[in-house]
Amino acid sequence: MPAYRVVLISPMHEGNVGAVARAMANFGFSELFMVDPCAVGDEAYKRAKHAGYILDGATVTATFEDALKDCSLAVGTSGIITEGEKHFARIPETPRAFAEKVKEHEGRIALVFGPEDLGLTQEQLERCDLLVHIPSSDDYPTLNLSHALSIVLYEIFQCGSPISLPRPASMEEKELLFGFFHQLLEAVDYPEFRREKTEVMFRRMMGRAVPTKWEFFTIMGVFSDAVKAASGRKPGRN
C-alpha cells in the first residue's frame, strides 16, 4: 500500500492551507510538505478545525526537490490539459484512474499542488512522473485548492487497502535511469533540438507505467549496454 505526501508549492492563502489539512484528516492522510508557503497562523488553524496537528507536523522546504525526497513517484495536478499525443507533458489521468493505477504501489507518492493563482509551472510539471486532472465544466474549470485535493484523496481512499506487490524503484534510482536515457540519446546522436521533449516524454511514459524496482533495473541494464555499444565499447564491460 502506498504512503502519500501532500506537497503544496507556494500556497498563497493560509485559509486554504488550513482547509487542506482538514481534507487530509477527513481521509486519513497526515504528511504535509510545503515549499515557500505563506505565513500559517490563526486563520489556518481555524479552517483546519480538528486537523491542527497536521499543520503542527508540516515540513517546510526551500525547494521542490527537497519536498520530493524519499518519494518514489511524483504526481502533479493541473487544471489545464492539452489535446493531442504530442503534448505528452499535459496528458493527464483522472483522479479515479490514477488511484486505481497506483493502489498496489509500494513506496511514498507525492501529490503536488501549485499556487492558487497560476498552478504548477511547466518546469515543475515536467519534473513529475504523472499528471492528474479533475474534469470540470468548461464554463468554470478551476477548482479551489482544498476542493481539488479532497477529490483526489477521496478517490484514493475509495480504493481501500491494496495487496502487496514488488517494491517500486526509488526516486534516486529512477533519476539514474533517466540519466542513462540521456546518455543514450547523446550516444546515438539524437537530434539535439528534440532531446528535451523526448526525455520528458520518456519520464511521463515510465510514470504512467509505474514499473517495479526489478523492471527499472532491467531497463537500466539494457540502456547501459546500448550506450556502451553506441560508444564503441563492448556491452557487459566497463
pLDDT in tens, 91-146: 789 999 999 999 888 899 999 999 999 999 989 999 999 999 998 888 887 899 99
- Which of 85-89, 158-162, 221-225 bottoms out in mean pLDDT, i.e. has the lowest? 85-89
pTM (2 d.p.): 0.71
Sorted by where each starts, the structural domains of the chain and their CATH numbers stand as 3-158 (3.40.1280.10), 171-230 (no CATH)
Q: What is the pLDDT of residues 27-49, one digit of tens each?
A: 999 999 999 999 999 999 999 99
Q: How many Å apart are CA 89 and CA 86, to the nearest integer?
A: 8
- Confidence band of 90 (pLDDT split at 50, 70, 90): low
